[in-house]
Amino acid sequence: MSSELYYLYPRLPQHIAQQTAEALVTRTADELKDLWETSHGALTYAPTGGNRITDEQLKLLRAAVLTIAHRYGYPDTSGKNAARTFDVECAIVLHETMRLHPSEASHNEVWSFLGCILLPDVVRWRFDDSTDTIRFVGRERGMRRHAFGRLWWRAYLACNPRWKEPYILLHRLNEDDLVQVTERSSIAVRPALFRSLCVSFAMAAKSHAELPRRDLMREASKRMYRLLSLTVVEALNEGELRTLTDDVFAKTAEALMNAVETPS
């Protein structure tokens, strides 16, 4: 994709985002539903890298997210199951609609704008049981806990256009699985490795249903992290990468089963 096809998004400075978020967490989604904007006096943009997104395009983005939220009960309290399905659908819409380059997505201020200015009501609805401002304010590239940043990054990393279902990994993995693998920054910066590791995990979790998914993913991620110092994964093709990650999970599962059989 050439640079002219990417959008540059408004950036809300960190200190203003934090102050704004502290006020937002005291309100309900219903109270915030008319308090969104497409602009703010403190917004800035990157000087290069794409075209500035217009107000109309921002309104279309908001409308797309709201359509999904309404499907799952917005602005009323969202249930756990609704939250999960909302996340998957919203992740796909964000990735397909935003036309966002990873370098632009790495700026916390972009996610702060979405959370604090454009879609504060949806953030509050999705996390109505929390008063943590991190759901509104971008931190750690928005990848881990931001209401929308974490969803965009998951879709970006998981998507393979060559697959019949490009986003199938988002449906196969649960919230805890995705949190664990994205928290490994050495894995999360490599989309091909991320996808291969997740595919291998899904297969291993099915084959070794007796093992806790959390333990399997955590220990395999550690093993993969150690291998990264010895293996140039960028030089591997898709098949070679899959062989590597399959082996990682096979050895991890074996080690976990041995630990269960021979407790200390």
**Three-state DSSP string of the chain:** CCHHHCEECCECCHHHHHHHHHHHCCCCHHHHCCCCCCCCCCCECCCCCCEECCHHHHHHHHHHHHHHHHHCCCCCCCCHHHHHHHHHHHHHHHHHHHCCCHHHHCCHHHHHHHHHHHCHHHHHHHCCCCCCHHHCCCCHHHCCCCCCHHHHHHHHHHCCCCCCCCCHHHHHCCHHHHHHHHCCHHHHCCHHHHHHHHHHHHHHHHHCCCCCHHHHHHHHHHHHHHHCCCCCHHHCCHHHHHHHHHHHHHHHHHHHHHHHHCCC
Q: Give the Cα separation of 79 and 193 in Å (integer).
A: 33
Q: Is 33 exposed, middle or buried (0-12, 13-18, 19+ CB in 10 A)?
A: middle
- Given this model, what pLDDT does residue 262 score? 65
For tokens 């990157």, what's the residue? 46
Q: Cα angle vertex 37, ends 98, 136, to 5°?
A: 70
32 in Cβ contact with 121 (< 8 Å): yes
Q: Cα angle vertex 67, ends 62, 71, to 5°?
A: 145
CB environment 78-103: b (16+ within 10 A), e (fewer): beeebbeebbbbbbbbbbeebbbbee
- Given this model, what pLDDT does residue 80 score? 66
Q: Give the Cα separation of 86 and 77 in Å (integer).
A: 13
- Given this model, what pLDDT does residue 77 score? 76
- Given this model, what pLDDT does residue 144 score? 85
List the pLDDT tens digit at each of the 264 positions of the chain.
444 589 999 999 999 999 999 999 999 999 999 999 999 999 999 999 999 999 999 999 999 999 999 999 999 876 667 899 999 999 999 999 999 999 999 999 999 999 999 999 999 999 999 999 999 998 998 888 999 999 999 999 999 999 999 999 999 999 999 998 888 888 999 999 999 999 999 999 999 999 999 999 999 999 999 999 999 999 999 999 999 999 999 999 999 999 877 655
* Cα-based distances in Å from 16 to 21, 40, 43, 133, 138: 8, 10, 10, 12, 12
Q: Give the Cα separation of 98 and 101 in Å (integer).
A: 9
List the one residue out of 170, 165, 152, 21 whose CA is nearest residue 93. 152
Supply the pTM of this predicted model: 0.93
Q: Give the Cα separation of 12 and 232 in Å (integer).
A: 37
Q: Which residues contact 162 (CB under 8 A, 6 or more apart)?
A: none
